[in-house]
Amino acid sequence: VVSTQSTGGHKILGMNTIQLYMKVPGSRTPGHQENNNMSALNLNIGPGDCEWFVVPQEYWGVFHEICERNKINYLTGSWWPLIEDLHKENIPFYRFFQRPEDLVWINAGAIHWVQAKGWCNNIAWNTGPMTHAQYVKAYERYEWNKLKAVKSIVPMNHLSWNLARYAKIYDGQLVAQIRHCLEGTLNTCKTIKEKLQKEGIEIQFHGREKDEWTHYCEICEVEVFNILFVENRKVHCENCARSSSKTLNGFVVLEEYKTEELESWLQNFKLVDGPPEANALEDYNVDISKLPPSLRYL
């Protein structure tokens, strides 16, 4: 599967790097969706079993309401749904055992919680299939995280520009959605630069090194793309920087990409001619009907 995670530009711990879970009987992974609604793979290498509960993504709002009623933070809190509550709220769910050597696929945005029925070890990793559905769900959660002051460890703006620069995309809907993001971030960068120039504040070109980590605001932890407001070697977004000093006194403003570079990448980012199924969600170069019983997917 071609993954958006492979174009992130650097390692994102727990996302495009493998995780290992060493579980004792009864240990639980509370209810959650993957970071930025990414998809996931989980392989049980045994010797015991794991019990899974999974709910389709479209029911996440109901879980959010239940958490709110119980004064639990849906995004950062620890919660374990009760079966009777699922029935009461008319929430459909999958419940199954993951035996040793079973591989579980978690679709984009699926809500899930897991408990170990025995001693077992699990290897898990995230992936972002190159599809319109995955990208939209990831970006929606990115924006929701901002509203809830929760850090998105997948830097969607940085990722989107890397997709435009390096990926070949055959899905017209996906290209249009990514272009919408690129145009928005480019306009934001231009607006910030125009404002700074009118105020007579110098913008220093800093550039960006290969595999350099994405920058996040020191205060609100939002992704900071291209225009960095730096104070004492700490990066801030414009809003937090101006909250500290309206005139940006004590701040150095750095630029990672020239406007002309961004405009060129946007202009050259186009739909690639290819087979219509190249980016289809249901196509992973595998005939699902021929998968072995041990490969379970949701």
pLDDT at 296: 36
Is 20 a residue whose pLDDT tops 70?
A: yes
Q: Tokens for 108?
A: 């984009």
pLDDT at 297: 37
Is residue 256 within 8 A of residue 235, CB to CB? The reply is: no
| Strand boundaries in 17-156, DSSP class E | 19-23, 28-32, 39-47, 50-55, 94-98, 103-106, 111-116, 120-127
Distance separating alpha carbons of residues 189 and 165, to the nearest angstrom: 18
Q: What is the pLDDT of residues 89-109, one digit of tens each?
A: 999 999 999 999 999 999 999
pLDDT at 12: 78
- Reported as a pLDDT band with limits 50, 70 and 90, residue 277 is low
The residue among 168, 147, 192, 163 whose CA lies nearest residue 266 is 163
Q: What is the pLDDT of residues 180-230, one digit of tens each?
A: 999 999 999 999 999 999 999 999 999 988 878 899 999 999 999 999 999
The angle that helices 172-198 and 156-166 make with each other, rounded to 10 degrees, is 120
Distance separating alpha carbons of residues 140 and 132, to the nearest angstrom: 12
User: How would you label 211-249 residue by residue, b for 16+ Cβ within 10 Å and e otherwise?
Assistant: eeebbbbbeebbbbbbbbbbbeeebbbbebbeeeeeebe
First to last CA, the chain: 16
User: How would you label 7-37 residue by residue, b for 16+ Cβ within 10 Å and e otherwise?
Assistant: bbbeebeebbeeeebebeeeeebebbbbbbb
Tell me what percent of the chain is helix, strand and coil, each rounded to the nearest 5.
35, 25, 40
Is 269 a residue whose pLDDT tops 70?
A: yes
Is residue 55 within 8 A of residue 91, CB to CB? The reply is: yes
Its pTM stands at 0.86
Find where tokens 């997709």 sit: 163
pLDDT at 114: 98
pLDDT at 164: 95
- Mean pLDDT lowest among 69-73, 105-109, 284-288: 284-288
Distance separating alpha carbons of residues 223 and 43, to the nearest angstrom: 31
Distance separating alpha carbons of residues 97 and 261, to the nearest angstrom: 51
Sign of CA dihedral 149, 150, 151, 154: negative
Distance separating alpha carbons of residues 17 and 158, to the nearest angstrom: 18
